[in-house]
């Protein structure tokens, strides 16, 4: 199973997850918020800090773990259509990509806002989420 762990309070992150679902034509991805019991369990299982909400985490095939821009790139590889254009960022060294990712991550609440609690996904895509 391929699992995307994301900040369930972040407006930008929630919008991004909905876009990912739209382009996940082969239904290869499941999602869980970092704040959920499942998300915390996965972080602990993979020796990551349970309270770190600053990054997206991608667990590929239940074993390989990616975060920050490498997670984004690995997720995009599984998508169909327009998002594939973003793979151009692979040419940039990871340290540079991750630097800009961290700057954005620190400011995402200021730029896009934050929810008080994780959203309930619409019924038609609820099966894509793990609590």
Q: What is the pLDDT of residues 62-92, one digit of tens each?
A: 889 999 999 999 999 999 999 999 999 999 9
131 belongs to a structural domain: no
75 belongs to a structural domain: yes
52 belongs to a structural domain: yes
Contact 10, 112 (CB under 8 A): yes
18 belongs to a structural domain: yes
118 belongs to a structural domain: yes
How does pLDDT run across 21-70, given as a tens digit for each residue?
999 999 999 999 999 999 999 999 998 887 788 899 999 998 899 999 99
130 belongs to a structural domain: no
Q: Return the SS3 of 28.
A: coil
Which residues form the domain of 55? Answer: 2-125
* Rounded CA separation 15/111 (Å): 13
**Structural domains counted in the chain:** 1
């Amino acid at each position: 199973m391929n699992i995307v762990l994301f900040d369930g309070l972040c407006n930008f992150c929630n919008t991004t997850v909905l876009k990912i679902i739209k382009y996940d034509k082969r239904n290869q991805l499941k999602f869980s918020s970092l704040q959920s019991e499942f998300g915390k369990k996965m972080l602990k299982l993979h020796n990551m800090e349970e309270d770190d909400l600053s990054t997206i985490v991608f667990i590929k095939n239940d074993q390989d773990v990616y975060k920050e821009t490498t997670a984004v790139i690995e997720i995009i590889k599984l998508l169909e259509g327009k998002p594939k254009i973003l793979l151009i960022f692979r040419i940039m060294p990871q340290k540079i990509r991750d630097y800009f990712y961290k700057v954005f991550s620190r400011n995402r609440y200021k730029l896009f806002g934050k929810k008080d609690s994780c959203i309930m996904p619409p019924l038609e895509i609820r099966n894509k989420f793990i609590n």
